[in-house]
Structure 1
Amino acid sequence: MCGILGTIPCSPNEIFKPALDTLTHRGPDSYGIEHIGQDISLGHRRLSILDLSPKGHQPMLDDSGRYAVIFNGEIYNFLEIKKELEGLGHKFRSTSDTEVLLKAYIEWGEESVSRFNGMWAFGIWDRDTKQLFLSRDRFGKKPLFYSQIGDTFVFASEMKAIFPYMETLEVSEDFHWMKRNIFFYEATEKCLIKGIKRFPAGHNGVFKGGRLTIYRYWNTLDHLVGVPDTYQGQVEHFRELFMDACKLRMRSDVTIGTALSGGLDSSATIAAMAHLSKNNRSYSDDWQHAFVASFPGTPLDESHYAKMVTDHLGIGATFVDIEPLRHWGKLEEYFYLFEDLYITSPLPMIMLYETVKANGVTVTLDGHGADELLSGYQQGNLESLWDARWSPTRTKDILNIYQDSINEDKVQYERMNSSKVYTTFMVRKLAKKALRKKMPSTDNNHPNFRKLDNHAQYLYAMFHENILPTLLRNYDRYAMINGVEIRMPFMDHRIVSFVNSLPYSSKIGNGYTKRIVRDALDPYLPKEVTWRKTKVGFSSPIVDWMQNDLKEWFLDITHSGAFLRSDLVSDPKTLQKEIGNIVNRESHSFADAQKCWTDLSPYIWGEAVLKRRN
């Protein structure tokens, strides 16, 4: 897990080294630079996780000197691939996954990525053909940006490493569309900064002769699988896949742990780690480190559920009280490091992973991806109503699940009665069907997409194209700002293919969301967590903050001349009034407060990113 930077042709070191150092937070342990003739400069900031010795140093060259690689990520099945390569005559001088990746490419070329179980963004230079090969993992867990600036092609882990090569920083033509569609730009090439593009997930690229050619190597719809006929068989197969996904992700030469919320997904992850360790199937003995974000006195606090889990497993936990005033002075620095826009403050998440690092843990196994894959959100749950429309029993079950999943706080979170929910959904769905509207997805013309049930189609887009890509970007930043790597067993590509092949009734039903996860992991978890119905997302208690700790800050910033003159905010005066309504307790709506933050954040972003550079 690291930060990478490359330029074609070579860059002067007095420009390249400072540009690489903007990624120091991603790789605080060491750095390496290779200028290969006049052809290419390759730079790497290292976060040492596998093979901590200098043998794992990057940029890494093969024995002949023909190939050079810079790599950000982890190949979890590197030991299995290494054994196969050794059988083909390859010799290894390190115990790193980087060397395995490089020699896999030498052996199998561009097809090598299909053998990897992991997360990655890497570049491999071929000195003989003067060709650069780029690749990004199947689902975009690791970031990659690029830009053509005059005669120079630049690629990097973050936009800020490209900034030194740009004469000026300007917002892109799509900036105002992007700020209104925060969940819909991460899966595109669009970036907030003009002239920079996002390399797409699940794609490879070849840069040769001054031209970049990008092509798709992974589409989940091409990898759907047969599933057991019985639900019990599906549960057993899911359990096997999940345990193996966790086992592979416990490979580490440094201490590992988990960010534990007390919700089902993170609890399932650490329970699987405990089970694997107990049965001598773990690759790490030093895993018993749970970190819990706590929001005392707010509707977002789940720390008591997290304690149930750690007590059940017999391990300790570090509870992190999220006190905004302690870190709010760093907000602009955090926005600079974060680089993008989101609907909530990054503070709680950054503080959590800061504590992880401060306690000597460099790798966490977290539960990200399960909500989008297995229907953890209310709207996704409703989509199954269309699939259950001929069954009154299942329809009633889904509506009960929908109501039970709403946050218990009745002041901030509104409720609607079930009959109204059903009528509203079905009328809208029937109207869309009458107008022959397809489920919005870039893959909705794929023949296998049409074979998915309505619920699976909705989740497919959520997982691959909107919600999850945004969250993956966010958590990459939250953790890497602190030099921490997050691994996500629910996002093992074998699990993704399997779950996308399941019927909706295996994911939602019998009174519960994520049904198959609960049944598969129930033997390892406290019942209060396995069968808990309410869901609380990891966010900021923004209403509470605006009305208490940060009241003065919100009032000061929205009454400042710079804010009122900002052209990054659509309507500063209206936003000033809306924020005043929350601050002065005229509104207690979480949705209203979250919208205020979303509308305000472009201004903070501009102060942190544009003004810092310009």
Structure 2
Amino acid sequence: MCGIAGWFLKRGITRDDSDLHAMANRIVHRGPDDRGYYFDREHGVAFAHNRLSIIDLSAAGHQPMASDDGRFVLSYNGELYNFLELRAELEQLGHRFTSHSDTEVLLHSFIEWGPACLDRFNGMFAFALWSAREQKLLLARDALGMKPLYYAPLPGDQGFVFASEIKAFLSLPDFRVRMNRDALQQFLEFGYTFVDDATVLEGVYKLPPGHSMEVVEGIALQPRRFFSAPAPAAEDHRDLGDRDAELYKTLSEVVAQHLIADVPVGLFLSGGLDSSVIAALAARHTRIATITMGFAESEIDERPQARLVASHIHSDHREITIHPQEISDDLEDVAWYFDDLFADWGTVSTRLMYKKCREAGIKVVLVGEGSDELFGGYPIFQAAIDTRGPMTWKLFELYRRYAGRRYGNQFPKFLAIIRGYLRESGGDLFQAVRMFETRNQLPNNYVMKVDKASMSVSVEARAPFLDRRVAEVAYRTPAGQLLKDGTNKLLLRSMAERYKLLPIEITRREKFGAAIAASWMDDSAKFRTYARQVILDRNGWVDELGLRPAMTDYFDRSRVGYNFPSAISLFSNLAWRLLLLNLWSRRFRAASPTAAQ
């Protein structure tokens, strides 16, 4: 896992090397183990690479990595979980390797198969590959968007710049920082930017999941999709038992590959179904270290369920306690590291958990993200299979569930996306919702949280459910085998029971979601004073958004028994988003001499 950055300048344009060094320094947390640069000054191409060493810790895995003849140069962030199988196939074709790294396998895969190699990769990745003879730069991002990749045109028509994180661009002295107002509205309504290539900064884009893009003469061409979700086949009449077997075989192989590392591996165990299934499968290969998060002064506690699972699978179980003040103290750092704005409740606590894992010597962590989106774990999937009412009413209801109201500023854009997915899925609303969940919400919210929280403290997070092989099994499964009689994730629960992976009370446990430590923050006089100061800051956004009267009214009244205007409560939706927005704005303005609201 790494942090990458670079540029492709137009003919005749030059930049000082110090700009690239500064970009690399801004994202050094993504790879503190090694640093490398590549310059093709004749063609205006430069790469910077910060390495987090996970597989083949030797200098042989140094990046950027060039082919023997110098024709191709690669800077790659991620893991290829099937790299051993690909390596064996390439060796049969005559390729010879000098390292044990998956980076070299990716490079040789491109040499052998060209861009078609993307269809062979099972893993999480974002990479830049320079073809010197063809004078083309290829960018690519994994199927489900586990690894981020941002890009932007340089000011003054100078060329093209890319990086693993937006904050790298702030290091460029001529880079203009302006808020993308449309993305800001999406953040305020949804808690994240749901358009797949948009970011909170105007003129900065992210490569969508499952896409590649060529850059020629410093100009980015249209991204191309290389991964599309397969739909359930009408002629596929397999029963639940057959699908159980397929999912068990696939997920078992995937988890085994996710355990491959040359550093200590752990697993976040919440006591819920998703992480427990991954833990149980991992335990069949090794005595896995499981880590559970507990919260001091909180009524929310999943440690008893996690202990039950840990005992069942005989893991090396550890518990981490997070204190409310730690969450409060870490907020401003969160706003900096989580630079593409999103407001998931677990951002702060998740980052603290990764931080404590790193302090304990654990450098790779398996997580359970992706199951709900793929296997129908959210209530919105139940709404999608409800046959009552016209489609128009259902689309308004979908928007209400995502945005908290039936109509808002971003409804037309949301509607266009859903209607596109309806066309793609042949009018299947369940499939359309799953496409939105996996293409728009997951990579721009939950998976972004995983990447930025873990990489901010130099930890690699791996999500077996987001392996494309598991995703393809889920996509091919019809709604009737995922949701039935009010039960969600039916296929996953059925598999866990059939193969006796977990105690029955865990297999049948309902999904538990809560705003961890939110009650403490809402009740803490000290934190309320801090939140008031940040949210009502005259240099913030509350005036421009027309929300000062509502937020002032909130802070001037007692919380207990008060009905907040427009359903605003301090740590629910809008106010929480305003708090993060203002903290983010402070840090970004301070970091860039050209910042503007």
Same-fold call, TM cutoff 0.5: yes
Contact 2:344 2:449 in 1 (8 A): no
- State the SS of the aligned residue for 2:178: coil
Moved more, 48-57 or 374-383: 374-383
Shift in CA distance, 452/526, structure 1 to aligned 2, threshold 3 Å: farther
Counterpart-to-counterpart distance in 2, 1:55 and 1:224: 44
* Aligned residue in 2 for 1:98: 103
| 1:172 equivalenced with 2:180 (yes/no) | yes
| 1:80 equivalenced with 2:85 (yes/no) | yes
1:130 maps to a residue whose letter is Q
* Aligned residue in 2 for 1:506: 481
Counterpart-to-counterpart distance in 2, 1:161 and 1:526: 46
Deviation of 1:507 (Å): 0.7
Deviation of 1:257 (Å): 1.0
TM-score by length of 1: 0.85
1:546 maps to a residue whose letter is D
Counterpart-to-counterpart distance in 1, 2:378 and 2:421: 25
Structure 2 unaligned regions, length at least 5: 399-411
Matches within 5 A, 1:77-156: 77-149=82-154, 150=156, 151-156=158-163
* Aligned residue in 2 for 1:36: 40
Matches within 5 A, 1:215-364: 215-222=223-230, 227=236, 229-275=238-284, 277=285, 285=286, 288-296=288-296, 298-344=298-344, 346-364=347-365
- State the SS of the aligned residue for 1:123: strand
Deviations 1:325-348 (A, max 9, x none): 135334222211110322345211
* Aligned residue in 1 for 2:403: none
Deviation of 1:301 (Å): 2.5
* Aligned residue in 2 for 1:428: 393
Counterpart-to-counterpart distance in 2, 1:179 and 1:60: 38
| 1:204 equivalenced with 2:212 (yes/no) | yes
| 1:158 equivalenced with 2:159 (yes/no) | no
Deviation of 1:517 (Å): 0.7
> Which of the residues 584, 588, 597 maps onto 1:609?
588
TM-score by length of 2: 0.87
Contact 1:439 1:458 in 2 (8 A): no
Counterpart-to-counterpart distance in 2, 1:230 and 1:319: 40
- State the SS of the aligned residue for 1:50: coil
Shift in CA distance, 470/559, structure 1 to aligned 2, threshold 3 Å: closer
Contact 1:581 1:587 in 2 (8 A): no
Shift in CA distance, 438/569, structure 1 to aligned 2, threshold 3 Å: closer
Counterpart-to-counterpart distance in 1, 2:532 and 2:217: 54
Contact 2:542 2:578 in 1 (8 A): no
Deviations 1:232-277 (A, max 9, x none): 11111111111111112111111111111111101111111012x1
* Aligned residue in 2 for 1:418: none
Deviation of 1:556 (Å): 3.8
**Matched length:** 564
Shift in CA distance, 440/219, structure 1 to aligned 2, threshold 3 Å: farther
1:243 maps to a residue whose letter is S
Contact 2:160 2:219 in 1 (8 A): no
- State the SS of the aligned residue for 2:5: strand
Shift in CA distance, 447/579, structure 1 to aligned 2, threshold 3 Å: closer
| 1:594 equivalenced with 2:544 (yes/no) | no
Counterpart-to-counterpart distance in 2, 1:248 and 1:491: 13
Deviation of 1:450 (Å): 3.5
* Aligned residue in 2 for 1:12: 16
Counterpart-to-counterpart distance in 2, 1:266 and 1:328: 27
Counterpart-to-counterpart distance in 1, 2:561 and 2:251: 45
Give the fraction of aligned pairs with identical amino acids, expressed as a percent: 27
- State the SS of the aligned residue for 1:44: strand
1:363 maps to a residue whose letter is V
Moved more, 325-334 or 66-75: 325-334
Deviation of 1:99 (Å): 0.4
Counterpart-to-counterpart distance in 2, 1:321 and 1:607: 30
Deviation of 1:352 (Å): 0.8
- State the SS of the aligned residue for 2:129: strand
* Aligned residue in 1 for 2:405: none
1:384 maps to a residue whose letter is I
Deviation of 1:603 (Å): 1.2
Deviation of 1:77 (Å): 0.3
Deviations 1:171-194 (A, max 9, x none): 124243233244562443222122
Matches within 5 A, 1:402-417: none
> Which of the residues 482, 503, 508 maps onto 1:526?
503
Deviations 1:536-588 (A, max 9, x none): 25x4332332212623322443455545x755654133123235557556369
Shift in CA distance, 532/65, structure 1 to aligned 2, threshold 3 Å: same
Contact 2:200 2:340 in 1 (8 A): yes
Deviation of 1:54 (Å): 0.2
Deviation of 1:429 (Å): 3.5
Deviations 1:336-393 (A, max 9, x none): 111032234521111011111111111111110111111211222222222xx6xxxx
| 1:546 equivalenced with 2:522 (yes/no) | yes
* Aligned residue in 2 for 1:282: none
Deviation of 1:512 (Å): 2.1
Contact 2:56 2:99 in 1 (8 A): yes
Counterpart-to-counterpart distance in 2, 1:344 and 1:184: 8
- State the SS of the aligned residue for 2:145: coil
Contact 2:536 2:548 in 1 (8 A): no
Shift in CA distance, 321/113, structure 1 to aligned 2, threshold 3 Å: same
Deviation of 1:114 (Å): 0.6
2:216 maps to a residue whose letter is K
Counterpart-to-counterpart distance in 1, 2:294 and 2:124: 29
> Which of the residues 485, 493, 497 maps onto 2:460?
485
- State the SS of the aligned residue for 1:328: helix
Deviations 1:198-249 (A, max 9, x none): 1222111111123211332334345766755211111111111111111121
Counterpart-to-counterpart distance in 2, 1:364 and 1:200: 24
Counterpart-to-counterpart distance in 2, 1:44 and 1:342: 26
* Aligned residue in 2 for 1:366: 367
Contact 1:241 1:495 in 2 (8 A): yes
